[in-house]
Structure 1
Amino acid sequence: MYKRQANQIVLSALEKQAAVVLLGPRQVGKTTLALWVAEQQPSVYLDLERSSDRQIMIEPDLYLDELAGKLVILDEVQQLPGLFKSLRGQIDTRRRQGFRTGQFLLLGSASNVLLHQSAESLAGRVRYIEMPPLLLDEVGTDRLNDLWLRGGFPDSFQADNSKSSMDWRKDFLRTYLERDIPALGPRIPATTLRRFWTMLAHAQGGLLNAAALAEGLGVSGQTVGRYLDLLVDLMLVRRLQPWHENVGKRLVKSPKVFVRDSGLVHALLGLETLEDLLGHPVVGGSWEGFCLEALIAAAPAGTEPFFYRTSAGAEVDLVLRLPSGRTWAIEVKRTTTPKVSRGFHLAVADIKADQGVLVYAGEHDIPVAQGLRAMPLASILETLRGL
């Protein structure tokens, strides 16, 4: 087992809030984390995908009244959407009994569903934490290429060999398409959704072209939007929005789209080995997406990510607006040459970035120009975590 940074984040949040919602795709390690938390204090764990555990919660107040003073962990809580009103009453009752924090840990794999269900009922009583797949600083920089190739789902990353890892990811994709997504309600043919997912992988990091996707699938643009919303909600795809504050510039307004886990990109495209990946046209988009996910995960809570592009050619791969109000402009290149384009410098000036960074494949942290540093991925992750 790898020591996950989310462990301490969740423990700290439970010390300050009555309820914590831990979000993340299936198989990312949420249950493992929750069971570890359960070992640290008196707790009760229920998996709401199990009919026996759902049966217990048919009359939630009768059961939960007996557990005051214990942490109640509810896994896949989106299975019981009506539960949140009861949880609000439970939290308020326990507060009056002197139990103000660390009452509920709620795990879920559909972010918007959970946010919608809990926003009104638990307003002011809950903190939301997203658990990413394994991160570079959790597995070690010596495993960087393995993490990029296999992705961060623990079972995929820790597989005995490349074939076993690929087989796990193919099974993961099949399970989502054939079981998990239909369980959420949408009636989408698995073959159609897989083609859509694969099309996104081929265009990894490109601007969203809903019309081209719709034509390729033989569906409407509205349907493409619905498919994309679903995969974003399941935290499997990221829709990176364009920076929009330079009114006087002709900005690109379409979002960029990334399959969030690089291992899933490679599974969708049948790229089993590093040699397969390095020889494929998606290599640049895959590396950019891998670095972006790591950078966003390492940034302080409350950071807003964007990209910047104008019709005149000014471009930044990732703009991070930090909670402090500072803005970082980050360019990602899989090269050992610490050099950026003129378009990057123009973009940095446009958005008035406080710090420019080139993430490159070299080993040293070096200044490139005034306000611009070239840094290995591991170095900038460490810097972001220290902010």
Structure 2
Amino acid sequence: MYKRQTHHFVQSALESQAAVVLLGPRQVGKTTLALDIASEQPSVYLDLERDADRQILTEPDLYLDEQAGKLVILDEVQQMPGLFKSLRGQIDQRRRAGFRAGQFLLLGSASNVLLQQSAESLAGRVRYIEMPPLQLTEVGADQLNALWLRGGFPDSFMASSDQASMDWRLDFLRTYLERDIPALGPRIPAATLRRFWTMLAHVQGGLLNAAALAEGLGVSGQTIGRYLDLLVDLMLVRRLQPWHENVGKRLVKSPKVYVRDSGVVHALLSIGTIEGLLGHPVVGGSWEGFCIEALLAAAPTGTEPFFYRTSAGAELDLVLRLPGGDIWAVEIKRTTAPKVSRGFYVGAEDIKASWKLLIYAGEHDVPVAEGVRAMPLEQGIGLLRAL
């Protein structure tokens, strides 16, 4: 077992907020974390994918009235959308009785659906926390290549061999496509969605070209948008938006698209070993996506991520606008040579970046030029976590 950093965030939130919504894709470790928290205090746990547990909440107020003073954990809460109004009443009733914080921990695997339901009913009563897969700081810097290859889903990362890890990820993909996504309502053929997901992996970190994807699948551009929205909503794909604040510059307006877990990228492309990965055309995009997810998981709450690209060739792989207003320009390269392109300097000047970093595959923090530092991923993560 790895001690998850999200554990501290959830505990801290429960000490000050009536309800906490913990979001993350399936199998990322939400239930394990919730049960760990439950073992530390009086609590009850219900899995709303189980008929028996849903039956308990047929009359939710009758049951929840009896649990006052306990932490109520509701797993896969999006399975019962009508429950949120009852939760609002329960929170307000308990506040009047003196129970102000730590009342409900809600776990969900579909972000926008869940957010809309809870935002309408629990405004001012809830905090949202997204749980990422295992992070480099949790498993140790010596495990970087294993984490990159296998991804951060705990069962994949901790598998007994690379082949066992690949088998787990292939089963994970099959379950999502054949059971989990249809359970949310969309009637999309599993084979079609798998092809779409694989096409995204092939162009990992590329600009979204909906027309090319539509032609490849034989569907409309509107359908491509619907497929992409679904995978983004399930926190399986990231749509990184372009920076758009430079007046007078001809900016790229299409988003960049990343399959969020590197292990899923490699499973979709049948890359099973680190040697196979290093020789594959997707290696640069895979490394870039892996680093972006790690940096965003470490960034302060409220950080806004973008990329920057102009028609003249200025380009920044990642732009972070931090809550205090600082802007970080980040270049990501799978190289041991700490050099950045002229396009990076131009882009950093355009956005008036206060920090300029190169995340590279070397081992040392070194100056590249005035105001620009190159450092390994672990150190970049440390900088953001220290903010």
TM-score by length of 2: 1.00
**Corresponding residue for residue 355 of structure 1:** 355
The 3-state SS of whatever aligns with 1:26 is coil
**What amino acid is the match of 1:15?**
E
1:143 matched to 2:147: no
How far the C-alpha of 1:20 sits from its partner, in A, is: 0.2
How far the C-alpha of 1:58 sits from its partner, in A, is: 1.0
**Corresponding residue for residue 24 of structure 2:** 24
The 3-state SS of whatever aligns with 1:129 is strand
Q: Deviations over 1:71-111 (max 9, x none)?
A: 00000000000000000000000000000000000000000
How far the C-alpha of 1:158 sits from its partner, in A, is: 0.3
Once the two structures are superposed, the pairs formed by residues 77-96 of structure 1 within 5 Å of their partners are: 77-96=77-96
The 3-state SS of whatever aligns with 2:32 is helix
CA distance in 1, matches of 2:124, 2:306: 27
1:367 matched to 2:367: yes
The 3-state SS of whatever aligns with 2:205 is coil
CA distance in 1, matches of 2:310, 2:33: 42
TM-score by length of 1: 1.00
CA distance in 2, matches of 1:188, 1:48: 24
**What amino acid is the match of 1:103?**
Q
**Corresponding residue for residue 298 of structure 1:** 298
- Root-mean-square deviation (CA), in Å? 0.5
Once the two structures are superposed, the pairs formed by residues 333-352 of structure 1 within 5 Å of their partners are: 333-352=333-352
How far the C-alpha of 1:368 sits from its partner, in A, is: 1.5
CA distance in 2, matches of 1:385, 1:296: 10
How far the C-alpha of 1:279 sits from its partner, in A, is: 1.1
**Corresponding residue for residue 154 of structure 1:** 154
Q: Deviations over 1:38-89 (max 9, x none)?
A: 0111100000000000001111000000111110000000000000000000
How far the C-alpha of 1:248 sits from its partner, in A, is: 1.1
How far the C-alpha of 1:16 sits from its partner, in A, is: 0.8
**What amino acid is the match of 1:361?**
A
The 3-state SS of whatever aligns with 1:297 is helix
CA distance in 1, matches of 2:113, 2:70: 26
How far the C-alpha of 1:120 sits from its partner, in A, is: 1.1
**Corresponding residue for residue 106 of structure 1:** 106
**What amino acid is the match of 1:348?**
A
**Corresponding residue for residue 68 of structure 1:** 68
CA distance in 1, matches of 2:339, 2:21: 42
1:266 matched to 2:283: no
The 3-state SS of whatever aligns with 2:208 is coil
How far the C-alpha of 1:170 sits from its partner, in A, is: 0.1
CA distance in 1, matches of 2:308, 2:40: 44
**Corresponding residue for residue 189 of structure 2:** 189
How far the C-alpha of 1:369 sits from its partner, in A, is: 1.7
How far the C-alpha of 1:320 sits from its partner, in A, is: 0.5
Structure 1 spans left out of the alignment, 5+ residues: none
**What amino acid is the match of 2:153?**
F
Further displaced range: 245-254 or 361-370: 361-370
**What amino acid is the match of 1:46?**
L
CA distance in 2, matches of 1:124, 1:372: 41
**What amino acid is the match of 1:39?**
S
How far the C-alpha of 1:275 sits from its partner, in A, is: 1.0
**What amino acid is the match of 1:350?**
D
Structure 2 spans left out of the alignment, 5+ residues: none
Q: Deviations over 1:296-325 (max 9, x none)?
A: 000001100000000000000000000111
**What amino acid is the match of 1:151?**
G
CA distance in 1, matches of 2:70, 2:224: 44
CA distance in 1, matches of 2:110, 2:127: 16
Q: Deviations over 1:236-285 (max 9, x none)?
A: 00000000100210000000000000000000000000111111100000
How far the C-alpha of 1:153 sits from its partner, in A, is: 0.2
**Corresponding residue for residue 235 of structure 1:** 235
Further displaced range: 359-368 or 81-90: 359-368
CA distance in 2, matches of 1:286, 1:10: 30
The 3-state SS of whatever aligns with 2:123 is coil
CA distance in 2, matches of 1:253, 1:386: 32
**Corresponding residue for residue 380 of structure 1:** 380
Q: Deviations over 1:186-239 (max 9, x none)?
A: 000000000000000000000000000000000000000000000000000000
Q: How many residues align?
A: 387
**What amino acid is the match of 2:18?**
A
**Corresponding residue for residue 287 of structure 2:** 287
CA distance in 1, matches of 2:59, 2:251: 53
**What amino acid is the match of 1:16?**
S
How far the C-alpha of 1:5 sits from its partner, in A, is: 0.2
CA distance in 2, matches of 1:314, 1:106: 43
CA distance in 2, matches of 1:102, 1:334: 44
Extract structure 1 runs of 4+ deviating beyond 2 A: none
**Corresponding residue for residue 201 of structure 2:** 201
**Corresponding residue for residue 250 of structure 2:** 250
1:220 matched to 2:220: yes
CA distance in 2, matches of 1:130, 1:244: 26
CA distance in 2, matches of 1:173, 1:39: 31
Identity %: 81
Once the two structures are superposed, the pairs formed by residues 27-66 of structure 1 within 5 Å of their partners are: 27-66=27-66
The 3-state SS of whatever aligns with 1:67 is coil
